[in-house]
């Protein structure tokens, strides 16, 4: 009979190995394997919306067709983060021309939103909720701009799945139901919101079926009459009438002036990969600025989620976000030194401020010329390898909380990101687009796109982009494990609408980071706080051109999935 001590020792070794990792393949934090398919793929934050996109691809629709259909469905199914009352940004790779296109479909401040108006009201910041936080919704004009250039199926066909779900109803998923309940409590004094989103006087719970026939009517009108209905026709007049009733400043002229901008995407090389982002008024170049500095450091040698690694990324984030607070704004109104900010020599200059052993309490913005937010993200690849990376948002949860009479959606509160500091690059002005947090991303190699991805979550987004890319490029993770890996989020940097970092901010860490690392970060002067949530929501598709397959990832922090066919 074997010695009992040997048996106990064997059991302990087995148990330690079992609890250290119960996955057969992949790292211990991975929630599942990648989704792999050949003909097409959709990855987004709601499974029903992802399936709609697959259905559109199977009907012969393009990646853009599927993206529009998915986004319309998300506005219904995940109104906690999106909707036609918000804005939209997209990167589109067109396989036929072999070119990457960028679209900025963000709306501007109403003509009545002058700095003087806010000053006369005694305000030091733009209110976070209510009509003074409004900017013109750019989403619908973005749909039609994308469709005109890259679409194939009729817009009416693309909107029909969302219309059908709006009339027949859909069951709420768990995380969306959680945020929905919080918003119903926050907007208790908004009668139209309560009537629409709290039927029977309470928020719908997980598994409850929710219907929105008002939104169905609105989408049907858009499908029939196009963007004209939203910006110059019936929907526009209803928004202006509602605005007049609740103290807003929307005019028909403001809505009619909403025009999307095709932008030249910006990029830089990171270890042989070219990473693409959109220019300001978005914050995409923050990710590029961080990568420009990280390119100078052997990140892989530091080790994944070690104290050295996390300290380096947090300190670089601090440097970049001070520039973000000072320079990022609508380039039509401010002189934004975009290309200088992402230049290699500027990265070297800023890196000189990084202390590898001590957390900075305050850092200045540089001179390159020598945080909350709810969003949805989706990415689609079709059989021709057209690729869409699209992000869309109301900004904070259900946005402003204002639901125009009978239209079935909330107007965004993106204007809350304007500054009221005279002379600031992001100061409010009529017709000006505010600083924006939502950023789609794409990565190419050898002149072809290889990775389309995004990370939802306000100021977390550039931090999330960088962590995903380091996980894949520096540490060799697959697209699923890269999203599931424990993340950090640094908060407390200076903001584009006011507020200055004076105490170094706070490093939030997910539970998968070891205590020894937390202790080491604290020894370097970091204030470290665990936090449930706030680490973004990632979706991504990797394109393996050599083998002709697509590999999708969709992390467990959201309700969504990647689906292929």
Distance, first Cα to last Cα, the chain: 56
Cβ 193 vs Cβ 401: under 8 Å: yes
If one counts every other C-beta atom within 10 angstroms of the C-beta of residue 430, the result is 15
Closest CA to 87 of 278, 249, 342: 278
Identified catalytic residue from 135, 375, 379, 437: 375
Close Cβ partners of 265 (under 8 Å, ≥ 6 residues apart):
91, 100, 101, 102, 276, 277, 278, 279, 442
Beta carbons of 30 and 486 less than 8 angstroms apart: no
The Cα angle at residue 459 between residues 41 and 413, in degrees rounded to 5: 90
Alpha-carbon span 520 to 529, nearest angstrom = 13
114 in active site: no
CA distance 350 to 365: 9
Contacts of 301 (CB under 8 A, 6+ apart): none
Q: Provide the token pair at 271.
A: 């270890």
- Residues counted in the chain: 565
Q: Which of 313, 312, 324, 381 is nearest to 63 (CA)?
A: 381
Q: Find tokens 């934050």 and name the residue.
A: 45
Other residues' Cβ atoms within 10 Å of the Cβ of residue 319: 23
> What single DSSP character describes residue 482?
H
How far lies 230's CA from each of 2, 248, 249, 352, in Å? Answer: 79, 18, 17, 50
H/E segment holding residue 175: helix 174-186
Using a 10 angstrom Cβ sphere, with 0-12 exposed, 13-18 middle and 19 or more buried, the burial of residue 120 is exposed
Tell me the helices (H) and strands (E) count for the chain, helix number first.
20, 19
Q: What is the CA radius of gyration of the chain?
A: 23
Looking from the CA of 160 toward its CB, the CA atoms found within 13 Å total 10
Cα(494)–Cα(498) distance, rounded to whole angstroms? Answer: 7
| DSSP annotation of 558 | S
Cα–Cα nearest to 565, from 171, 66, 185, 89: 66
The burial of 406, by beta-carbon neighbours within 10 Å (0-12 exposed, 13-18 middle, 19 or more buried), is given as middle
- What sign has the CA pseudo-torsion 11, 14, 19, 22? negative
Tell me if 360 sits within 8 A of 504, measured CB to CB. yes
CA-wise closest residue to 390 among 156, 51, 102 = 102
Active-site positions?
375
């Amino acid at each position: 009979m074997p010695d009992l001590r040997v048996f106990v020792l064997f059991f302990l070794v087995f148990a330690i190995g079992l609890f250290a990792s119960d996955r057969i393949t992949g790292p211990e934090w991975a929630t599942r394997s990648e989704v792999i398919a050949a003909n097409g793929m959709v990855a987004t934050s709601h499974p029903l919306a992802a399936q709609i996109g697959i259905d559109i691809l199977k009907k012969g629709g393009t990646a853009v067709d599927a993206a529009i259909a998915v986004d319309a469905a998300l506005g219904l199914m995940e109104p906690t983060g999106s909707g036609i009352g918000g804005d939209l940004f997209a990167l589109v790779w067109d396989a036929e021309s072999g070119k990457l296109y960028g679209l900025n479909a963000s709306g501007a401040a109403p003509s009545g939103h002058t700095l003087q108006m806010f000053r006369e009201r005694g305000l030091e910041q733009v209110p976070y909720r209510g009509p003074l936080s409004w900017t013109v919704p750019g989403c619908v004009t973005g749909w039609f701009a994308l469709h005109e250039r890259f679409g194939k199926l009729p817009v009416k066909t693309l909107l029909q799945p969302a219309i059908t779900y709006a009339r027949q109803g859909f069951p709420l998923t768990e995380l969306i139901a959680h945020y929905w309940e919080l918003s119903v409590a926050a907007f208790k004094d908004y009668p139209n919101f309560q009537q629409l989103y709290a039927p029977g006087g309470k928020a719908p719970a997980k598994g409850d079926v929710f219907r929105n026939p008002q939104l169905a009517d609105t989408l049907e009108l858009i499908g029939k009459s196009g963007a004209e209905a939203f910006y110059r026709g019936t929907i526009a007049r209803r928004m202006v009438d509602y605005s007049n009733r609740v103290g807003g400043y929307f005019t028909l002229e403001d809505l009619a002036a909403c025009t999307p901008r095709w932008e030249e995407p910006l990029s830089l090389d990171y270890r042989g990969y070219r990473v693409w982002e959109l220019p300001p008024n978005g914050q995409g170049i923050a990710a590029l600025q961080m990568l420009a500095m990280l390119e100078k450091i052997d990140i892989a040698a530091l080790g994944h989620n070690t104290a050295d690694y996390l300290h380096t990324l947090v300190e670089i984030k601090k440097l970049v976000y001070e520039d973000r607070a000072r320079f990022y704004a609508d380039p039509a109104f401010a002189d934004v030194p975009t290309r200088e900010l992402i230049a290699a020599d500027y990265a070297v200059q800023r890196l000189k401020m990084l202390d590898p052993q001590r957390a900075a309490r305050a850092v200045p913005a540089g001179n390159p010329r020598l945080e909350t937010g709810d969003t949805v993200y989706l990415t689609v690849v079709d059989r021709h390898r057209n690729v869409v990376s699209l992000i869309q948002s109301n900004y904070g949860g259900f946005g402003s909380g204002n639901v125009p009479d009978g239209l079935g959606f909330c107007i965004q509160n993106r204007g809350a990101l304007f500054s009221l500091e005279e002379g600031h690059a992001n100061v409010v002005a009529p017709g000006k687009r505010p600083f924006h947090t939502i950023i789609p991303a794409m990565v190419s190699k050898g002149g072809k796109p290889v990775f389309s991805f995004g990370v939802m979550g306000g100021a977390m987004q550039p931090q999330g982009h960088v962590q995903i890319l380091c996980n894949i490029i520096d540490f060799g993770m697959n697209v699923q494990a890269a999203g599931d890996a424990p993340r950090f989020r640094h908060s407390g940097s200076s903001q584009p609408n006011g507020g200055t970092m004076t105490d170094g901010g706070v490093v939030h860490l997910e539970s998968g980071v070891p205590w020894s690392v937390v202790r080491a970060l604290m020894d370097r002067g970091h204030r470290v706080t665990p936090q449930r949530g706030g680490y973004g929501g990632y979706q991504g598709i990797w394109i393996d051109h050599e083998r002709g397959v697509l590999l999708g990832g969709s992390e467990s922090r959201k309700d969504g999935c990647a689906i292929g066919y």
